[in-house]
Structure 1
Amino acid sequence: MAIIANAKVKTLSEAWSGEVSSGQHRLITDKPESFGGQDQGLAPYDFICSGLISCTMITLRMYAQHKGFDLGEFTVEADFNANKEGKEWIDRRLAFAQPLTEELHQKVLEICQKTPVTKTLLRSVEINTSIL
């Protein structure tokens, strides 16, 4: 067993706000004003989307470097969705500054399904909780 990531959050004085730390990095988490927060930082589901799109970008760039080609500039965006029936899903969109060949287009879609965070999100994750 190996720890592959670690993060901690400390409450701030504003309701719903916290300072998230991971290694030397600091981020603010909050809820939007429409949910009673101050909208000073990412909401929890924003972090899920951020993890997915970051992993997607890094994996695609690593693949391109390994195969010796340049994907050029591109963006990855994700929306976390939920409906009244309790179904949840993520829509992920990629946009490339330069056009992709049909073959590369298909390969990118294939690689996106194999990124580590994608694979984690596609299966259930056990969460063990303890109080220290």
Structure 2
Amino acid sequence: MATIANAKVTTLPEKWGGEIQSGQHTFLTDKPESFQGLDRGPAPYDFICSGLISCTMITLRMYAEHKGLDLGEFSVEADCKANKEGQEWIERRLSFKTNLDEALQEKVLNVCQKTPVTKTMLRSVEIKTTII
């Protein structure tokens, strides 16, 4: 079994604040002021979106390099959505500074469905929790 990622969060004195350590990186997590937080860092669902879009960007750049394509500058954005019926989904949007022809757009959309984080999110993920 291989560990592909690791992170640890430690509580801060603020109501919802936490300090996350992942590898050599340290960043904050919090809730927005509308949830009585101080909004000093991304909230948990923001991190889900961030993981998805960063993986999408990296995978598309790797694909373009491998295929000798020039995608130019682009951005990826995602929103976590939920409705009253309890359904949840993510809407992901790509925006390219250069125009992609229809065939390349189709390839890009196909690659997006195959990014590692997308594939993880699309299948059920078992979460095992223990107290150590």
Q: TM-score, normalised by structure 2?
A: 0.99
The percentage of counterpart residues that share the same residue type is 73
Q: CA RMSD in A?
A: 0.5
- In the TM superposition, what are the counterparts of 1:84-103 in structure 2 within 5 Å? 84-103=84-103
Q: CA deviation at 1:118?
A: 0.3
**Residue 78 of structure 2: SS of its match in structure 1?**
strand
In structure 2, stretches of 5+ residues that fail to align are: none
Structure 1 Cα separation of the partners of residues 70 and 106 of structure 2 = 16
* Counterparts of 1:46 and 1:103, CA distance in 2: 32
Inter-partner Cα distance in structure 1 for 2:101 and 2:77: 21
CA distance in 2, matches of 1:122, 1:53: 14
Q: Deviations over 1:39-62 (max 9, x none)?
A: 000000000000000000000000
Structure 1 gaps, min length 5: none
One-letter identity of the residue aligned with 1:86: G
SS at match of 1:90: strand
Matched, 1:58 2:55: no
**TM-score, scaled relative to structure 1:** 0.99
| Residue 119 in structure 1 maps to residue 130 in structure 2 | no
1:76 aligns with 2:76: yes
Regions of 4+ moved over 6 Å: none
Q: How far is the alpha carbon of 1:36 from its aligned partner? A: 1.0
Q: Which amino acid aligns with 1:111?
A: V
Shift of 1:73: 0.1
